[in-house]
Amino acid sequence: GVTQSPTHLIKTRGQQVTLRCSSQSGHNTVSWYQQALGQGPQFIFQYYREEENGRGNFPPRFSGLQFPNDSSELNVNALELDDSALYLCASSLAGGPYYEQYFGPGTRLTVT
């Protein structure tokens, strides 16, 4: 399955954070979502074969990387209080008419 680390972390406003995800074996696409408290997940961006393949309405201080070994990262610079949320990683296999996405358990980020 999809795994994410760390489970929880606390950062201070202005700091930088890196969240990690390990995709399901064989999947070539990873998507990241932000889920604020009491809301549905919001699409941040997607990576396909190590290239960004679409971005939602998030500023450039949200960036990502995808590696050949089924792992990926979400980096957030200059953290703001509103960045406090559950960050979900989802992996999928591109090639069909839709992407069936498999979600990890998430990383809970708290910015103080």
Partner 1 sequence: AQSVTQLGSHVSVSEGALVLLRCNYSSSVPPYLFWYVQYPNQGLQLLLKYTTGATLVKGINGFEAEFKKSETSFHLTKPSAHMSDAAEYFCAVDSGSRLTFGEGTQLTVNP
Tell whether residue 40 is a contact of partner 1 (CB under 8 A): yes
C-alpha 98/C-alpha 72 separation (Å) is 21
CA neighbours within 13 Å on the CB side: how many for 73?
Answer: 10
Point out which residues pair with 111 in neighbouring strands: 11
Q: Encoding tokens for residue 57?
A: 């309405």
Tell whether residue 64 is a contact of partner 1 (CB under 8 A): no
Tell whether residue 6 is a contact of partner 1 (CB under 8 A): no
Tell whether residue 58 is a contact of partner 1 (CB under 8 A): no
Of these, 22, 23, 29, 72, which contacts partner 1 (CB under 8 A)? Answer: 29
C-alpha 10/C-alpha 31 separation (Å) is 23
- Binding interface with partner 1 (CB under 8 A): 2, 4, 29, 31, 33, 38-43, 46, 53-54, 56, 88, 90, 92, 94, 97-106, 108
